[in-house]
Structure formats: C-alpha cells, structure tokens
A and B are shown apart, each in its own frame.
Chain A
Amino acid sequence: MSAISASEKVDGFTRKSMRKAQKQRKSQGSSQYRTQCAPVELSPLPQLKDAPSTEQQELFTQKLQQCCMLFDFMDSVTDLKSKEIKRATLNELVDYVSTNRGVLVETTYPEITTMICTNIFRTLPPSDNPDFDPEEDEPTLEASWPHVQLVYEFLLRFLENPDFQPSIAKRHIDQKFVLQLLELFDSEDPRERDFLKTILHRIYGKFLGLRAFIRKQINNIFLRFIYETEHFNGVAELLEILGSIINGFALPLKAEHKQFLMKVLIPLHTAKALALFHAQLAYCVVQFLEKDPTLTEPVIRGLLKFWPKTCSQKEVMFLGEIEEILDVIEPTQFKKIQEPLFKQISKCVANPHFQVAERALYFWNNEYILSLIEENIDKVLPIMFGSLYRISKEHWNPTIVALVYNVLKTLMEMNCTLFDELTSSYKADRQREKKKEQERDELWKKLDELRLSSAQNNSHGLPSVQNNNNNNNNNNNSNNNDTQDKSAEAAAVTSENKDPDDSVAAIESSPCAK
C-alpha cells in the first residue's frame, strides 16, 4: 500500500474514505501453491458423453485424477490452456453426476473424495488486511474460484445424487473430512461459505453418525470465537445450518441442546460483530423457544444480563430480538419476566439515542404485545409510566415525543383509573421534589448572605447587615438579631475570608432558583 500523506489524515488518523479507496481494487488471495515440479500440461481427454458405456467408468476416473492437478491463479498468465482444460473437465463432471443414474459405483467414491479433498482442503491464506472489518471492508476473494467453484458444485451434486450411499461414503466422508470442511468456513469469500453451508447441511442430514461430532465441533468454533479470538467469518452460515437443525429437534429437548442454547447461543450475543449474524442468531433463539416455551425465562434473563450498555446499534438489535420473542411468547411465561423486561424497556424508551427509543416505543404498535400488556397492566404501567411521562417533556427528538403520545394514549385507554392514579402520584412526587429544590436553593442563598455579611463584619467591623443585603438584590432581609445569631454559624461554614467584592460577584452570577 502506498504511504498516505499527512494532508490526507485527520487528527493523525487516516480518513476512512482514503482507506476505502485503496481497497477498491478487489483483493484476491490463494494458498493453492503449485507443486515444485515443472509445469505439467494437461492433455484433453475425450468427452464422457461420446464414450461408449463400457469405457465411461474408466474415463470418469481418469478425469477425476486429472482434476487433482492444481494451478496457480495468482499468476494470471501461465498455464492458461491447462486451466481451461481443467475447468471444462470439471464442468463436464458436474453435468455427468447430475444427469446420469448408475454413475456412482463403489469404486468411484474414493476417487471422487480424493479429487475434492485435493482441490478444496487447504490452509486459508492469512488476510491481506490485518484490520479486516467484516462490516466495512471488501472481503478477500479466492483467486482460484473458477475451479474451486466447480469442485464445490460437484461435491454438492455428488451428495444429492439419488444413488448416493452414505454407508459407502462414510468411509471417506469421515470426521477428518468434516473437520477440514469446518475450517474452511473461516474463508473470507462469501461465495465459498455459501457453498460450504449447503454442503455441510446435506452432510448433516445424510450422515447420522456424524451429527453429534458436527454439533460438538461447531460448539468449539463458537466458544473459541466468543471467548478467545473474536474472529471467525462463518458464524452466520453455521447459525443458518443450526437453525434448520433446531427446527427439527425432537421433543422433549435433550439436555445437550438446552445447554447449547444457554452456554453458546446466548453468550454469542456479546460478540462485537453481532450485526453480521444477528438475524440468524435470533432465528435460532426463537426456534428454541417455539420448541420449548419453558426456556423463555432463562433466555430473556440471559439477554438482559448481556444487554448492551454502550453500543446503541446493538441495543436496537436486541430490541428487535425481544420483539420477535414476545411475538411467540406464552402468556404464563410473559408473567414471569415482565418486570425485569419492562424495567429495561423503560430505560430504553428514555435513551437519548433516538433509534433506541424509537424501537422500544414501537413495541406498542404490536397487537399481541398490547394484549399481553393489557392482561398485566397493573404490573407494567407503573414501571413504564415514570420514564414515559418524563421524556414526553424532555426528549429532544420530536418524533419520539409523538410516539410517546401514542403509547401514553394507548395505556390510558387500557386502564384510566390506574393511569390517573399514577399521574397524580407522579405529579405529587414532582411537587415534592420541586419544593425540596426550592428549599435547598433558599438555604444556599441564606448561607451566601451570611458569608458575605460575616466577611463584611470582619473587614469593616460593621454590625449592620442591611447595606449588604441591598447590594446583593436579595429579598431575604433578615433582621440584625437573626443575622448575628447565624453569623457565628456562618463563620464556622466559611473557611476563608473572601474579599467582599468577590463575594458580591459570586452571588450576582449564581443563577436564581426556579
């Protein structure tokens, strides 16, 4: 990357637009290094469709073996002819497996898996960009995608072929295979992850014996992501697969699955890059709750525990998820969590970030949530009332104020008496607070006066206080006796003898009590 001149920086940091411009060129990476020997040219083999059926098997195997030759795509000029031959061959193989029956005989399985392993299993190259931010930056794409894509396609068709026999394939598609497949989910290339997602989904579906292993490995990946590295590009894809698995859970739910929910899915909400996979994560959580409603309480308590405190974007996501959960919640479960939940919601509606407040207020547009609130209005309204009323007067954003009106009106229509009671007690509280404030202000004024008078007394030796009071535009004209009694206290209060002019200035500049 070229050096960035000082003029292109702001506060010493590179301007984001500059950084983006540098990355506009699509970055590609690949770790498919060619073997050290001299470039081997591929000789084109005859077409499968032209070959007589007796020779097709043999030809098929030859082509598979041919495709085990890897090419360097970082170099865009060498071996163009051979690359093209391989590409065409792969294409042909994809067709062959998709359209013909009786193609998958037992002997082909090892050849197929070898070809696949050779082509796709590789150590992923380290990212070009060490500060890769998945939300902002363009991903590094796989340079050898023209070939790799076809290999993935082939694997998928292979798995989906009607003649596919898991009992034979399981000798080759084993735990080691799955482990390597899972590692590839960290690829930055979204196309690759998309294929991997579908492939792993099919493998999970067909290989019953691998299911527990796959789940365990996914757990490990997630736990490492949450607690150790905070880096993994394939979280969303894995969650999508899990969604379809959770959807198929048998009832009653196994302990293992419940543990997964509480120990992995809920903590996953704390990840910094939540925005990338929140939709899939929320879907998984809601699926769990639809399967077993008794999980509602621990889930919501878990979310409340991890409630974002400084990231407003995340808070909005959490609120969205809560609404999704409330959409499916059972009324008995709602009663269990209504109090802690609405305490959090009442904080959210008062949040100065308008998007958070908006999202929280919009809950009242949801018919089902309204019916839940209605049933429990005596618990919910007192919690919400204070902050709603306060922000109706204080919030800076006019849209929020209008939404608060809607919410208050809705609540008022639900139960007028309770609403009126809360209004009057709120007003009474405010009156009391105001009174206290006033009293406090009066006390300070008095103390200031006394301090000034005691300062005057000390410097000029004048017992009378009247002159000082007039100077101070003060209405509290205390009589001499009072002042002299209090001046002893005032002397105790003031630590130093201030210059009278300073004191006057101080009093005149202090704001009048409201």
Chain B
Amino acid sequence: MDAYKLMKELRVNYEQEAHYLPKESGLRLIESTTEDDSRISAKCRDAKVEDLWSLTSFFGYSTQTFVLAVNLLDRFLAMIRIQPKHLSCVSVSCLHMAAKVTEEECNLAPPVELIRIGQCRFTASDLCRMEKIVAEKLNFKSNAITALTFLDMYHQIALSHCTDRKEILSLEKLEAQLKACLCRISFSKAKPSVLALSLLRQEIHAVQSEDMLEIASHIQRHLKITDVELRLWSERVARCLSDYSSPECSKPNHRKLQWIVSRRTAQNLHSLRTVPELPTIPEGRWDESESEDSCEDLMSSGEESLSSSLGSDAEGPYFPLHLRRQHLHA
C-alpha cells in the first residue's frame, strides 16, 4: 500500500504495456471491413465480445478474466486473419484460457459446459486445439498487462492518498464501465494506461472530488501521458459511458439464441391456440327483450342473489345510466 512503491510499479507496467497491445494496423483493418462473410468486421467482433461478457457474468467469472480474454482476442484478431465462422471458437478459447489463469480450479466451468451454454457449434477438442494455436501465436504464458491492471493500481493510489474517502471511488463501478468500453473495438486501440486514466477521470468528475482530480493529474505527469492523448480518449469514453448508462433500453437482439425445451413442453406450447368451431352468436341489442319467455316461471323466491342478478338486464352499477333509462321507457 506504499504510495511510492505503487508509483514505481506503475512506471514498470507502463513501460511494458506496449508488449500487450494489439497491432494497430490489424485493428484498423477490422474496423474498416464492411459486413462480409469472409472477414471479421467491427460489428461482428463487438457482438462476440458482448457474448463473452454474458458468459463471464453467467459463470461468475471475474472482470480480470473478461478483460484478459478480450485482450487475447484482440491481439489474435489483429495478427491473424480468420473467417467469421471461426470467431466463436477463437473467442471462447480466449475466455477459457483467461479463466484458467485467473479463476480458481473449483470455479472453472468445464469446456463442454461453456460450449453448451454458449450455444456453440464446435466441439471440446476444437476448443483445445484453438487454445494451443492462440497461446502459441501470442506467446501467452500466464498474464497480460491490461487496462484493468492500471485501473486497479490507480484506485489503490487514490485510496492511499485519501483514506477517509474510501466509499467514493467504487472499483466495481469502474470495472463495469471498463467492460462497457471494451465492447467496442475502437477502445482496443488505446493504451491501457490512458484508457484507465480516462475512466478514472470520468468517474472523478462524476463524484466531483477536487482531491482526486489532483491525484489523477499527478499520475498523468508521472507517466508522462500527453494532454492531447488523454483528452481524445476521455471524450470517447464519455460518449460510450453516456450510452451505457442511459435509461433507455436497447432492443435485445434475438438473432441467434436457441430456445431448447423438452419434448413435452414443446407439445403443450401451442395446444391452447385452437380455432373455435362454433360460430359466434352476437348478443341482442338492448331493446330486444331477452327475457320474453318469462324466465320468472322457474325462478322461485328462494334463489341466491347470483341468479337474480343474472336475470336482470338493466340493473347493476356497471350499467350505463342513459341506457338504463332507455330500457325502462321501452
């Protein structure tokens, strides 16, 4: 928790972060691709990352797993051209790899379960092979320096400087916002340190803390991040977050969700929608007396209130006044 040590570590990470950046030219290529069957487009990658987010959430994986998975995915995609039909396999392999290094053994979902829940079309052995390929290409050993690394450190630094304000900067909220940003490929072009700092500043503005702002500036100077760069990414982050936190709902994309139900339930699903065989009998108008044939004949005095109200046409509180009068005059 030593502030000095943290700053030093920060510096070290900053110097190394370039190793873990996806190739910018590769990312640009993806961004510029239009919807096509032969190449990955930005939309396709973004959709896949959202799927990864759902899976992370569902299996209870940590943010670290997700961020690492996205990092691996982007680095791989920027390096190697793959066909869109393989994107699913690549992304889930990245997730599994990330989970293996981050999560505890007992919390790790087995590959078969991942594939089943994610409604993927490939097998567990495909997954295994893909993992090896990705690991080899990226020379992946155990971890990577991501925006989350910096975010954690910034948060610690901020806390260590103002211990009485522990509640204000929520790491969880920052992590959630980071996840939201990572769903757009453009943010993968940012340097993790800068992205994290932008997020931090955004949140500091939201809570309106002067002290924190100072700390953020201090970090910026320490890492020698330029104002221009910071401003650029801060603007983009602000836009992204305003979309994320808007109360408006986006229409869920029902594209590929498979709803598998058991045979019995499937059989019963549409059993209620029977077409009626008997033609409709329209009710008579008010002046057509329906009680012509004296239903009073069989009505004895000892009947319950239900039957008496059922025979009457013009009584009851629901009966509109003007029609009631009309009936009495008829």
Contacts and interface: CB of A to CB of B under 8 A. Distances in A.
Interface in A254-270: 254-256, 258-260, 263
B318 A399 contact: no
B176 A256 contact: no
Nearest to A258: B318
Interface stretch (B21-29, B86-94, B244-252): B244-252
B310 A370 contact: no
Interface residues of A, number: 79
B293 A256 contact: no
Q: Which of A365, A398, A409 has the most CB of B within 10 A?
A: A409
Contacts of B297: 175
Contacts of A405: 54, 58, 117
A258 B315 CA distance: 13
Nearest to A378: B247
B139 interface: no
B172 interface: yes
A218 to B, nearest CB: 10
Q: Which of B244, B269, B295, B307 has the most CB of A within 10 A?
A: B295
A430 B57 CA distance: 15
Interface in A232-287: 240-241, 243-245, 247-250, 252-256, 258-260, 263, 278-279, 282-283
Given A243-B276, A279-B271, A250 B283 contact: yes
A38 interface: no
Contacts of B318: 252-255, 258
Given A250-B282, A255-B315, A370-B252, A403 B306 contact: no
Contacts of A100: none
Interface in B295-313: 295, 297-298, 306-307, 309-313
B110 interface: no
B295 to A, nearest CB: 5
Contacts of A175: 293, 295, 297-298
A209 B293 contact: yes
A336 interface: no
The secondary structure that dominates the B interface is loop
Contacts of A224: none
Contacts of A398: 116
B325 interface: no
B277 A248 contact: no
Interface in B45-65: 50, 53-54, 57-58, 60
Contact of B60 (A198, A207, A210, A393): A393
A211 B18 CA distance: 86
A255 B278 contact: no
Interface stretch (A114-122, A184-192, A416-424, A484-492): A416-424
Contacts of B259: 362, 365, 403, 406
A210 B295 CA distance: 8
Interface in B238-290: 244-245, 247, 249-254, 257-262, 264-265, 268-269, 271-274, 276-286, 288, 290
Nearest to B305: A259
A359 B292 CA distance: 48
Interface residues of B, number: 67
B180 interface: yes
A414 interface: yes
Nearest to B261: A358
Contacts of A207: 293
Interface stretch (A28-36, A132-140, A149-157, A316-324): A316-324
Contact of B260 (A174, A259, A403): A403
B277 A240 contact: yes
B274 to A, nearest CB: 6
Contact of B54 (A283, A377, A412, A424): A412
Contacts of B293: 170, 174-175, 207, 209-210, 213
B317 A248 contact: no
Contacts of A497: none
A462 to B, nearest CB: 41
B281 A245 contact: yes
B261 A362 contact: yes
Contacts of A258: 318
B4 interface: no
Contacts of A378: 247
A263 B319 contact: no
A204 B282 CA distance: 10
Given A212-B290, A250-B282, A393-B60, A320 B272 contact: yes
A254 B252 CA distance: 42
A205 interface: yes
Given A405-B117, A409-B257, A248 B285 contact: no
Contacts of A377: 249
A410 B252 contact: yes
A278 B272 CA distance: 8
Contacts of A259: 306, 309-310
B291 interface: yes
Contacts of A401: 117
Contacts of A256: 309-310, 312-313, 316
Contacts of A351: none
A392 interface: yes
A250 B285 contact: yes
Contacts of B295: 175, 212-213, 216
A412 B252 CA distance: 8
A145 interface: no
B274 A417 contact: no
A399 B260 contact: yes
A414 B279 CA distance: 42
A69 interface: no
A384 B311 CA distance: 45
A255 B317 contact: yes
A297 interface: no
A130 to B, nearest CB: 30
B272 A282 contact: yes
Contacts of A399: 260-262
A424 B261 CA distance: 30
B249 to A, nearest CB: 5
B250 to A, nearest CB: 6
Nearest to B312: A256
Interface in A349-389: 354-355, 358-359, 362, 365, 367, 370, 374, 377-378
Given A174-B293, A250-B282, A283-B272, A374 B249 contact: yes
A334 to B, nearest CB: 15
20 contacts: A212-B311, A216-B307, A216-B310, A216-B311, A244-B276, A247-B280, A248-B282, A250-B285, A255-B315, A256-B309, A279-B274, A320-B268, A355-B264, A365-B259, A367-B254, A398-B116, A401-B117, A409-B54, A413-B50, A413-B250
Instruction: Please provide the 6 A-B residue pairs with the shortest distance between their CB atoms, ordered closest to farther.
Output: A255-B316, A209-B293, A209-B292, A248-B282, A413-B252, A244-B278
Given A244-B276, A320-B272, 19 more contacts: A201-B278, A216-B295, A219-B306, A244-B279, A255-B319, A263-B306, A320-B269, A324-B273, A367-B254, A374-B249, A378-B247, A393-B60, A399-B262, A402-B260, A409-B58, A410-B252, A413-B250, A413-B252, A414-B252
